[in-house]
């Protein structure tokens, strides 16, 4: 199999945001999302919790803003979307926000006591500060600890990727993908990528993120067997990635997000965070396709 027709060239890493209340009271930021509003302000939402790691106790999302991503001071706002214990949510994970139709749409994981009943949830906002849950309830449940949703537009359809397993009680670690025309009603899942590794918690398909790359697509996943490791796979088909398409690059990020400059789509960054990582990091990621 020939090498993937794309090169990834990461730049120097720097600290983006540490949202700890103080040096004596460290908090971590895990799976997160960054988005810029119409006025040019950047917003970050993410899992936010005091150290040490307590994944099943992560019950709210950080919200912070900054005028740019080049070293500005961040303003920490009230957290958003606390776990709704009254409906059985025990924790909330991995927000992903997009803009569409004059509104902001946040997709995230609502964890339950039953690991085979994790839900992908939706909340909508007109200002990125006040969020209203989708009136129709959860979008769907899927796999063991189904989580880490990521949404992109492909022509007339939307694609939603998330971490799942081949069976609801465990199995091959997969990235599932579903399609929609309205961001609310989603198809049954197909397998965008299947690992050769089986299990339940963790696995090598966490934090999926898909972007266009020339005539093809790139899938980034967090390989949680090595906490700070992100892998990338190239494919001509956004619905199907294979190990043969792995890109040769060293990305030592956990829960990586790929961020595109709205004013210069050719410029991208990669961010990372995680337990005991002191907040978020960012660096340029040059993509040569």
Per-residue pLDDT of the chain (289 residues; tens, 9 = 90+): 566 799 999 999 999 999 999 999 999 999 999 999 999 999 999 999 999 999 999 999 999 999 999 877 899 999 999 999 999 999 999 999 999 999 999 999 999 999 999 999 999 999 999 999 999 999 999 989 999 999 999 999 999 999 999 999 999 999 999 999 999 999 999 999 999 999 999 899 999 999 999 999 999 999 988 999 999 999 999 999 999 999 999 999 999 999 999 888 889 999 999 999 999 999 999 999 8
Cβ burial 72-109 (10 Å sphere, 16+ → b, else e): eebeeeeebbebeeeeebbbbbbbbbbeeeeebbbbbb
Residue 1 forms part of a structural domain = no
pLDDT at 143: 81
Query: Dihedral sign, CA of 155, 161, 167, 171?
Result: positive
What pTM does this model have?
0.97
Residue 242 forms part of a structural domain = yes
Residue 190 forms part of a structural domain = yes
The domain of 197 spans: 7-288
Q: How far is CA 69 from CA 43, 79, 275, in A?
A: 10, 20, 22
pLDDT at 2: 61
Residue 126 forms part of a structural domain = yes
Residue 101 forms part of a structural domain = yes
pLDDT at 188: 96
- CATH code for position 189: 2.115.10.20
Residue 48 forms part of a structural domain = yes
Residue 112 forms part of a structural domain = yes
Cα 231 to Cα 195: distance, rounded to the nearest angstrom: 12
Residue 146 pairs in a beta bridge with: none
Domains: count for the chain: 1
Residue 2 forms part of a structural domain = no
């Amino acid at each position: 199999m020939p090498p993937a027709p794309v090169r990834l060239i990461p730049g120097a890493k720097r600290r983006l945001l540490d949202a700890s209340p103080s040096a004596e009271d460290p908090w971590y930021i895990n799976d997160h999302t960054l988005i810029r509003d119409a006025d040019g302000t950047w917003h970050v939402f993410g899992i936010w919790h005091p150290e040490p790691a307590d994944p099943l106790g992560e019950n709210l999302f950080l919200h912070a803003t900054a005028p740019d991503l080049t070293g500005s001071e961040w303003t920490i706002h009230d957290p958003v979307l606390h776990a709704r214990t009254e409906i059985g949510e025990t924790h909330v994970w991995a927000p992903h926000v997009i803009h569409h139709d004059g509104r902001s749409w946040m997709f995230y994981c609502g964890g339950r006591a039953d690991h085979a009943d994790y839900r992908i949830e939706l909340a909508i906002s007109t200002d990125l500060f006040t969020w209203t849950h989708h009136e129709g309830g959860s979008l769907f449940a899927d796999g063991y600890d189904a989580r880490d949703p990521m949404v992109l537009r492909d022509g007339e359809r939307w694609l939603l990727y998330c971490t799942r397993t081949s069976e609801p009680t465990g199995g091959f670690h997969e990235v599932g993908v579903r399609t929609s025309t309205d961001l609310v009603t989603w198809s049954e899942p197909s397998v965008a990528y299947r690992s050769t590794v089986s299990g339940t918690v963790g696995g090598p398909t966490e934090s999926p993120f898909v972007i266009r790359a020339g005539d093809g697509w790139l899938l980034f996943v967090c390989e949680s067997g090595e906490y700070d490791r992100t892998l990338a796979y190239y494919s001509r088909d956004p619905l199907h990635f294979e190990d043969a398409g792995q890109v040769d690059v060293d990305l030592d990020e956990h829960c990586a997000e790929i961020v595109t400059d709205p004013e210069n789509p050719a410029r991208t960054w990669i961010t990372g965070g995680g337990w005991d990582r002191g907040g978020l990091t960012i660096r340029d990621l040059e993509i040569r396709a």
